[in-house]
Amino acid sequence: TISSLSVDPQVHLQIAKGVQELHNHRITHRDLKPENILLTKKYKKGAPIPDLKVADFGLSTKNIIMETVAGTKEYIALASKVHTYTNSVDVWSIGIIFDELLHGDPYYTGENNKEVFNKILKEEYKVRDEKISEPIKALLVSVLKKKAYERPIIGVLKSRIE
């Protein structure tokens, strides 16, 4: 999985490009998490980053507006829990994945779904490590906004990474 990769802008860019391709085809994945981002070949530390592929489309949809709660609790966007939502839930999940790549564990954790959802509802995202560069901090804060309309669309996110 991508959890074995070092923090590299190419990893972030490949994930954003993959999700942008889905959104260009009006597909919302709804279950983005490290386990659903696959390496095309075995990775050895220090070697070039292999191509990444988005996988597991079991919860994906072509609906523009969605209502059904879907996804893995640590990566699910607030909006999908409380009202209708759009493909911005994928942008949220990307932010959680990026944060996890930086720190080694998901930002929102808990013993059960209810505990995790309560944290997502009540806790604002805060960058965990002040040593992270300002552009990365700004990127994380922008994609992990509670209000979906405040998050960048995937194309804007991708351009910020490039």
Q: Which residues does the annotation mark as catalytic?
A: 31
Q: Are 88 and 153 in contact (CB under 8 A)?
A: yes
Nearest to 77 by CA among 66, 63, 91: 91
Q: What's the rounded Cα separation, in Å, for the pair 14 and 52?
A: 6
Q: Are 16 and 53 in contact (CB under 8 A)?
A: no
Task: Quote the tokens at residue 58.
Answer: 């079991």
Q: What's the rounded Cα separation, in Å, for the pair 9 and 75?
A: 20
Cβ contacts of 104 within 8 Å, gap of 6 or more: 3
Task: Quote the tokens at residue 48.
Answer: 């070039």
The amino acid at 89: V
